[in-house]
Amino acid sequence: MSKINAEINFYRKQYPELDDLLEFNGTVFDLQQEILEKIETQIQISSEEAKKRIEAGTFLLKDEKFEIDIQLFKEILAKLAFVVRPRHNNPEQVDEILKYFKKLDIPNFLGKIVESKTIYMPEIIGDSDLDAETFFFLVRNSLVPFFKCEADNLKSQVDDSDWVKRMCPICGHEPQNGKFLLENGQYFLQCSLCLMEWSFIRMTCPFCGNDDKDSLKYLYVDEDKEHKAYVCDVCKRYIKVSDERALDRAVNLQLENIVTNYLDALVLEQGYSQLDLPKND
């Protein structure tokens, strides 16, 4: 059994009320693994060169010719849409998204994502009635194997103690969520695309860099003090953080992101967003 499947089984026992959701995500991870096995690593960087770039504050894929295979992207997108559709409260929305992709200039779209720090580019869907949450769920999960393939190859060359930036040292994208390490409480973020983990500074917003304590706070519920959403009043975004010391175990951040979905609902109600969407005020 793969490591992630063993971890899903652990989480399913730990969170029986989320069994269905975890099982669904297990299917998503299996699809990602299937595609990952078809992808060839593109970028080779020597250890010396990697060290130089990290010290200079340049993420490793910057200026590299990294291209996402369009056929494989279409393949995983269609397969993910197929598993999402029956679970969706409005399945026609999934069909609309696939139709939208048929018209979209996909090479241009993928090129933009590689260059950008975020996949959440509202201009991509523009004024359409597409469900943004489903759209970006499909996009992010379709892209993970391509970025992870490069990260798996490059991550042994990254000394994260030399990197305290808000973006991923490998692909330059934003973090998805974070953790305080079991051994020493050190703060780590996980990349939303390549899944690389890197150390960061506590009490600093990983999206806008705000470190003014008065505009940073955290939200949690009494029944689950081990998981908190750190919110920033400057950019109105938040990051969910799992405290491994309080949980007394090493976590899998992809699964932590899923089992804390109640926190997303809680902070959304308070006006914070995980996505970098335009503000109305």
Rounded to whole angstroms, the Cα distance separating 100 from 124 reads: 10
Site membership for Zn ion, residue 43 (CB under 5 A): no
Contact code string over 83-122 relative to Zn ion, x by CB under 5 A: ----------------------------------------
Q: What distances in angstroms separate CA 256 from CA 66, 71, 248, 262, one per listed residue?
A: 29, 31, 14, 11
Residues 6 or more apart in contact with residue 52 via CB below 8 angstroms:
none
Q: Which of 4, 182, 234, 247 binds Zn ion (CB under 5 A)?
A: 234
CB 237 → Zn ion: shortest distance, Å? 6
Helix residue ranges per DSSP H, the chain: 3-14, 19-36, 47-55, 70-84, 91-103, 106-115, 122-125, 132-154, 244-247, 253-259, 261-269
Phi, psi angles (nearest 5°) of residue 56: -85, 0
Site membership for Zn ion, residue 31 (CB under 5 A): no
CB 195 → Zn ion: shortest distance, Å? 7
Q: Which of 149, 168, 231, 259 binds Zn ion (CB under 5 A)?
A: 168
Site membership for Zn ion, residue 235 (CB under 5 A): yes
Rounded to whole angstroms, the Cα distance separating 150 from 153 reads: 5
Number of residues that bind Zn ion (CB under 5 A): 14
Site membership for Zn ion, residue 171 (CB under 5 A): yes
Longest dimension (CA), the chain: 51
Burial class (CB in 10 A: 0-12, 13-18, 19+), 269: exposed
**Chain residues 193-232 in contact with Zn ion, contact rule CB under 5 A:** 194, 196, 205, 207-208, 210, 232
Per-residue DSSP letter, 129: -
Name which of 181 and 208 has its Cβ closer to Zn ion. Answer: 208
Rounded to whole angstroms, the Cα distance separating 280 from 199 reads: 33
With contacts defined by CB under 5 A, name the span among 75-83, 116-124, 138-146, 173-181 that binds Zn ion: 173-181
CB 169 → Zn ion: shortest distance, Å? 8
Is residue 196 classed as helix, strand or coil in its secondary structure? coil
Name which of 85 and 117 has its Cβ closer to Zn ion. Answer: 117
For residue 164, the number of C-alpha atoms closer than 13 Å in the C-beta half-sphere is 10
With contacts defined by CB under 5 A, name the span among 9-17, 116-124, 131-139, 170-178 that binds Zn ion: 170-178
CB 196 → Zn ion: shortest distance, Å? 5
Cα four-point dihedral sign 254, 256, 261, 263 = negative
With contacts defined by CB under 5 A, name the span among 128-136, 191-199, 222-230, 251-259 that binds Zn ion: 191-199
With contacts defined by CB under 5 A, name the span among 104-112, 118-126, 168-176, 219-227 that binds Zn ion: 168-176
Name which of 134 and 210 has its Cβ closer to Zn ion. Answer: 210
With contacts defined by CB under 5 A, name the span among 25-33, 134-142, 178-186, 190-198 that binds Zn ion: 190-198
Strand order in the sheet with 216-221: 197-199, 187-191, 175-180, 238-243, 224-232, 216-221
Question: Smallest Cα–Cα separation from 15: which of 255, 239, 250?
Answer: 255
CB 150 → Zn ion: shortest distance, Å? 9
Site membership for Zn ion, residue 32 (CB under 5 A): no
Binding site for Zn ion (CB under 5 A): 168, 170-171, 173, 191, 194, 196, 205, 207-208, 210, 232, 234-235
